[in-house]
Chains A and B, each alone.
Chain A
Amino acid sequence: MNKKAQILYYALILGIFFAFLYFIVLQIQQHATPQQYTGSLAVNALNVAERTELILLYYEQAARLSSYNALPELARHGGYITPACATYLGASVISLKCTPDLNVNFQHFFNEQMKQRLEMYPPMPQQLTSSLSVTPHVSFVPFKIYTDKKMLVAASGKPLDVTLSILGQEAGTYSLRPDLRVEMVYDFDLLGKVREKMDYLKGLEDSTKFTPSTENAVSVVLGSCPAKTPEDVFFDVVERVSSCAKTVLNAQEKATCTCSLPSDVSALGSYRIILREKDNSLVAELVSNDNVPVDVTKEIRLAIHEGSPFRFDSLVEKNEVVLTIDAGKMLIDGKPVSSEKALLRYKDIKNLITFVSDDQQDDFYKQIPSCSSPPLKKFRVCITAGKVPQFDKKTQQTPFVDVHFQVAVDVS
């Protein structure tokens, strides 16, 4: 080889050197922040475990909210899931043959609520660290519920699986049973007391033997729970009128006595209650704003009392009365009427009831005694058992509200 050409070797050596140098720099840049290090797997496993704890916290909070929503729902159904026997004026009937299992039915409503909430948990993968991502598989299976005072224990029949991926590769599944133990503000022992009250009510001879119980924990009153819907007001009015029609006047009550209507009818809203005489029966209808009778239940057209003549006042015969509200005040055919002494019951004319507006109530009228309650074999009671926090969409507040069990007692 010509010695002059040796310079080409130097150039070749330098070229290879710089190429190698460039390769090394590229490698360093690529791995400047390595994602794997000694012990990274252990740290990743701990991160997955802690992440799962936060998912369990979602379960726990869902259980708390579900309980607080399930309790009023259970109470609204009179302790049943669906009316097991019958309904009377919108309330589920309890009798010697029919009594709800409150704990089992609470579990049903609790699981309905839990299902909705767990379905809202986002299912997408969550990146925890640069190398680790997890995909939680939050799915619903019915929980089995145990309660003890203010403690709720919910046992799940299916594990919560969390799939973990390291550097995009599925590396395993972290699995645990989402069994919950939640402290509540509600004392579940009250449900046992409600059951005791129901047993007491079933043993009554009739409504006149009922003794109101107003103890702090669980109170029982004859009649309806506070009305929340137009239907509730409708049934309350029907119950009062019906009870008044069944009154048997005693000697002290002379020829007449008075009955009251529900004091709070504000939930009626823009609806109207029409009472009319039809085919020698008194019929009540709940009518919405668009003049269509509301299909509340099969009891929408209710014959209050067979063969009861119906008259608005003593002078003018009427066959229809319309109850409405204006600014929370009850109106009879457009005239204001107070709930007390709103109905006049005649003794001499069998079963005659008159609606008396405020302008018709003179001093003489106000001295007429109140009718005594008739002995009813079927009647409604309201059992109030504690309070739970409830979110109110209108006010955007979360006040504590009473848990009202509206039930009808049938001792016939």
Chain B
Amino acid sequence: MNKKGFLDDFLPYLAVGAFVIVIAVILVFYGATKDKGQQDSAEKDLLTLEAHKALQDYLKSSFKDRSMAEYLTVIAKQDSLYPDWEAQTKTYFESRYPQRKTQLVVKTSREKMEVPEQAPEVRTVVYVDAYLPSDMYDKVVLTLNLGIP
């Protein structure tokens, strides 16, 4: 058998073998990527669920039995009963969600307040918002950013 004859006989097998290997690698890579994507998506959705609960707990426990009008005076920092609203809010989330980074944004028609002031650096972050009625501003929007560091 001469050299040329050898190539002629085995080249198609080599080509098919290489093709199969490449396809296998692609499928493995595709599978891994898809799994990662699904994992990320599930993680975000579960984090959203956690954020919903966190915002509910915060509102229900921090302002239980109090009127929203009082709550708004807290935001406006005009009520001497709650002089340190930002610090209290920060402490609340840090103590209950030590594994998470949080930022609470309160938006009224006049002002926007963020606790903490700078958005934390996070790997994954979600946000949920809640609307609250108000005599002072008609309505107030609270947004909780919940992130995984």
A residues contacting B by CB (< 8 A) are 10, 13, 17, 21, 24, 27-28, 31-35, 37-40, 43-44, 46-47, 50-51, 53-55, 57-58, 61-62, 64-65, 68-69, 117, 120-122, 126, 128-132, 183-185, 389-391, 396-398
Main secondary structure of the interface of B (DSSP, over half): helix
Tell me the complex Cα distance, A218–B29, Å: 77
5 contacts across the A-B interface (CB closer than 8 A): A27-B30, A51-B128, A53-B56, A61-B132, A129-B48
Q: Mark B66-97, 1 if CB is under 8 A from A, else 0.
A: 11111011001011000000000000000000
Tell me, yes or no, whether B53 is within 8 Å of chain A by CB: yes
Q: Mark B15-54, 1 if CB is under 8 A from A, else 0.
A: 1000100100010011001101110111011101100110
B38–A47 CB distance below 8 A: no
Tell me the complex Cα distance, A185–B128, Å: 30
Min C-beta distance of A102 to chain B, whole Å:
21
User: Is the interface on chain B under 10, 10 to 19, 20 to 34, or 35 or more residues?
Assistant: 35 or more
Q: How many inter-chain residue pairs (CB < 8 Å) link A and B?
A: 133
Partner of A50, one of B37, B53, B73, B134: B53
B residues contacting A by CB (< 8 A) are 11, 15, 19, 22, 26, 29-30, 33-34, 36-38, 40-42, 44-46, 48-49, 52-53, 55-56, 59-60, 64-70, 72-73, 76, 78-79, 126, 128-136, 138-139
**A57: nearest residue on chain B (CB-CB)?**
B59
Tell me the complex Cα distance, A32–B68, Å: 44
Tell me the complex Cα distance, A160–B105, Å: 27
Contacts of A47 in B (CB 8 A): 45, 48-49, 52
**A6: nearest residue on chain B (CB-CB)?**
B8
Tell me the complex Cα distance, A120–B67, Å: 18
Known: A17-B19, A398-B67. A35 touches B41 (CB 8 A): yes
Min C-beta distance of A229 to chain B, whole Å:
20
